Amino acid sequence: MTDLTIPSTPTRFEPPADLAASANVTAEAYARAESDADGFWAEQAERLTWAEPFTQVLDWSDAPRARWFVDGKLNAAYNCVDRHVEAGRGDKVAFHFVGEPGDTRDITYAELKDDVSRAANALTSLGVGSGDLVAIYLPMIPEAIVAMLACARIGATHTVVFGGFSAEALASRIEDCRAKLVITSDGGYRRGAPSPLKPAVDAALSRLGGQSPVDHVLVVRRTGEYVPFDDATDLWWHDVVGSASPEHTPEAFDAEHPLYVMYSSGTTGKPKGILHTTGGYLTGAAYTHHAVFDLKPDTDVYWCTADIGWVTGHSYIVYGPLANGVTQVLYEGTPDSPHRGRWWEIIERYGVTLFYTAPTAIRTFMKWGREIPDTYDLSSLRLLGSVGEPINPEAYLWYRSVIGGDRCPVVDTWWQTETGQMMISPLPGVTAGKPGSAMRPLPGIGADVVDEEGRSVPNGSRGYLVLTKPWPAMLRTLWQDDERFVETYWTRFADLGYYFAGDGAKKDEDGDIWILGRVDDVMNVSGHRLSTSEIESALVSHPRVAEAAVVGAADETTGQAVVAYVILRSGDGNNGEALTQELRSHVAKEIGAIAKPRQITIVPELPKTRSGKIMRRLLRDVAEGRDVGDTTTLSDPSVMALIANRDTESA
């Protein structure tokens, strides 16, 4: 786990008086939720519009399989779009879209309703219906959101695959969930140039060959670049969706209807298909968005910089914010295109008030220097959020001071793809935040730090982070792998019924929680979750590699970085720089550029215990430049000296 230095007396920042005075959620919420959890969550569910009311808040009789808002029926897209139009807010901007080349489009809720309805009709005409799976592989363009909502509207389950993932990764996801339709685009803009997407879909489908479950590929035209087209399967979005009727009556689905599957890295090489359903998920996303951002939908302009390919984009660009009817910014590109002030320029231009980003981005901006944001007017901002990885106190203080002008509270929000909603976070009108701490579980949420036996650790101690009670947006299972669902999250502390989060944490002297990072073989690189074994599998799939061990080593900017140690197969060929470059590209091809190792060291042997288990802890010591710890359990302790030597040579 990452070692975060926790100051002995951390600085605290009291909530701004004006924010506290008009805060959406006050301290009473904790007690209210504690004394009557069902009543509390029922109240939060009333933020949504139900076609049929629920008869029970939570059925936990088949734990850990939860049913929330039993018998309730609703349509997620109706809740995110139509009801705002029906309430007379059709002219309100849902999205200020900013394309990377500088093109902009404002989309109102009324326009969004028409677009989603057209897309819903188009999907139906392609034979997609309730219970079908649709893979979405798109850049950050409005059509990505329209596609997700169109699926939700007709009861199809979407699985959004991050555009940075490779054809191989896309193929395995399509195969695992048996997607009938893929929605993609010719490409998107990245760093000032068109970056193609459709060819990866073609490669994925040809890899699947006769096993491919896909009937059609719907292609959005974004860059206008040439794309090969197969008339048997491929269709242009502007033809099929463009010609469809904007009239569509949404059908109500059961609260437990599968809304989406999001693949995420676990401790084995095979990504897990995390399943979220409708009523509880939408309640959890909408409530936390309202509470943690102190959202005032009539005046706030909100911007979350995540990609919709990750859960943050699902919960805090699409479902939570749209259910709450806010105006937001949607930006296609990178923070440095065409210049390093791009984000601040966007905040100034649209008067963004609530801003949500990741520590990795903040650390990058710190490196670029405060002179850049200082040239923009950021005075519209009133609250800043952080997500995805531990935020070190220095980055927190810089964010608060340079971006937030020392007036905006920073909310450090801990949650996961599995939790669907924020779980541990300050409440901006209540909590005196400490830089580096996610603080306390939100109202209605039970979280604790426990020892090996599941006993709550005393203040000042470290342990495992657990969630002690069910919550509405919790994952329901792993797609077609219920056994792995129980095994991964619910077995470690089965007697206590705790959910095992996979993170280490510390309670400070006041009992506030500091997240220390993963305790399993999952890495966090720039807030992206990667599995060591998935990258190891990618490396050993290269013909020159016999064995590989991957560790996440601390990195100043990206939080952790991928560092790989490989043993080559005997035989000739280049063993030097050219080969390590080739291996890095091979990983990018197998998984995606985000998984490329920062460093690959070729070693003669890997440190293993007598039972043959690789001791990654020792490799991490080497990768982070520390003296190697206790090696007595190694079958051959001299191995570490050889590895350490190679490491200095390759550095």
To the question of whether residue 471 is assigned a binding role by annotation, the answer is no
Question: Site for ligand PRX (CB under 6 A): which residue of 409, 502, 597, 607?
Answer: 502
Question: Strands of 447-450's sheet, edge to edge?
Answer: 447-450, 462-467, 499-507, 513-518
Give, to the nearest 10 degrees, the angle between helix 28-35 and helix 37-45: 110
Q: Which stretch binds ligand PRX (CB under 6 A): 148-156, 207-215, 501-509, 544-552?
A: 501-509
For ligand PRX, which is the closer residue by CB, 387 or 600? 387
Instruction: Give per-residue burial for 96-118: e unless 16+ CB within 10 Å, then b.
Output: bbbbbeeeeeebbbbbbbbbbbb
Residues in binding contact with ligand PRX, number by CB under 6 A: 22
280 touches ligand PRX (CB under 6 A): no
560 marked ligand binding residue: no
153 is in an annotated binding site: no
Going by C-alpha positions, the residue among 230, 125, 131 that lies closest to residue 178 is: 131
* DSSP three-state, residue 285: helix
Closer of 289 and 518 to ligand PRX (Cβ): 518
Q: Which is nearer to ligand PRX, 250 or 552 (CB)?
A: 552
Instruction: Name which of residues 427 to 456 contact ligand PRX (CB under 6 A).
Output: 438
- CB of 417 or CB of 601, closer to ligand PRX: 417
Residue 256: how many CB atoms within 10 A of its CB?
21
Binding residue (CB under 6 A) for ligand PRX from 524, 533, 558, 580: 524
Sign, Cα dihedral of 320, 322, 324, 326: positive
3-state SS, 327-375, equals EEEEECCCCCCCCCCHHHHHHHHHCCCEEEECHHHHHHHHHHCCHHHHC
610 known ligand binder? no
Please choose, out of 48-56, 324-332, 495-503, 610-618, the segment that lies near ligand PRX by the rule CB under 6 A.
495-503
Q: Assess 142 for contact with ligand PRX (CB under 6 A).
A: no
216-220 and 193-196 as β-strands: parallel, antiparallel, unpaired?
A: unpaired
Q: Is 415 annotated as a binding residue?
A: yes
Q: How far is CA 415 from CA 63, 249, 297, in A?
A: 21, 34, 23
Is residue 47 annotated as involved in ligand binding? no
Tokens 């997620």 identify what position? 76
Amino acid in position 647: D
Give bridge partners of residue 79 from the DSSP assignment.
none
β-partners of residue 386 are 357, 412
Shortest spacing between CB 386 and ligand PRX, in angstroms? 6
The reply to whether 200 sits near ligand PRX by the rule CB under 6 A is no
Residue 143 binding ligand PRX, by CB under 6 A: no
Answer yes or no whether residue 387 interacts with ligand PRX by CB under 6 A. Answer: yes
* Calpha distance 242→341 (Å, rounded): 36
Q: Which of 143, 254, 389, 448 binds ligand PRX (CB under 6 A)?
A: 389
Find out whether 400 is annotated in a ligand binding site: no
Instruction: Find the residue with minimal CB distance to ligand PRX.
Output: 417
| Type of residue at 481 | D
Taking residues 247 to 266 in sequence order and writing x for each that binds ligand PRX by CB under 6 A, - otherwise, the string is -----------------x--
388 binds ligand PRX (CB under 6 A): yes
542 in a labelled binding site: yes
* Partner residues linked to 517 by β-bridges: 504
Q: Compute the least distance from the CB of residue 480 to ligand PRX, in Å.
A: 19
Residue 190 labelled as part of a binding site: yes
- What are the residues whose beta carbons fall under 8 Å from the beta carbon of 212, sequence distance 6 or more? 174, 175, 205
Q: Taking contact as CB under 6 A, which single stretch among the options 228-236, 247-255, 406-414, 456-464 is the one that binds ligand PRX?
A: 406-414
Tell me which stretch binds ligand PRX (CB under 6 A): 77-85, 238-246, 381-389, 444-452: 381-389
447-450 and 462-467: which strand pairing? antiparallel
Q: Which residues of 576-597 are buried (b: 16+ CB within 10 A; e: fewer)?
A: eeebbeebbebbbbbbbebbbb
Nearer to ligand PRX, 236 or 490 (CB): 490
Residue 41 identity (one-letter amino acid): W
Question: Is 413 among the annotated ligand-binding positions?
Answer: yes
Segment 554-583, which members bind ligand PRX (CB under 6 A)?
none
529 belongs to the binding site for ligand PRX (CB under 6 A) = yes
The answer to whether 118 is annotated as binding is no
Q: Which stretch binds ligand PRX (CB under 6 A): 94-102, 367-375, 409-417, 583-591?
A: 409-417
C-alpha 469/C-alpha 486 separation (Å) is 15
Query: Among residues 511 and 604, whose Cβ is nearest to ligand PRX?
Result: 511
Which residues in the 306-335 window bind ligand PRX by CB under 6 A? 311-312
User: Which residue of 416, 437, 537, 560 would you call a contact of ligand PRX, by CB under 6 A?
Assistant: 416
> CB of 141 within 8 A of CB of 183?
no
Helix ranges restricted to H, 486-567: 532-540
> Judging by DSSP bridges, how do beta strands 181-185 and 216-220 pair with one another?
parallel
- Of the pair 147, 387, the CB lying nearest ligand PRX is at 387
Assess contact for 506 and 462: CB atoms under 8 A.
yes
Instruction: State yes or no: 593 annotated in a binding site.
Output: no
Annotated binding site for ATP: 388-390, 412-417, 503, 518, 529
The residues of the shown chain that bind ligand PRX, judged by CB under 6 A, are 264, 311-312, 387-390, 412-417, 438, 501-503, 515, 517-518, 524, 529
> From the annotation, which residues make up the binding site?
190-193, 312, 388-390, 412-417, 503, 518, 526, 529, 540, 542, 545
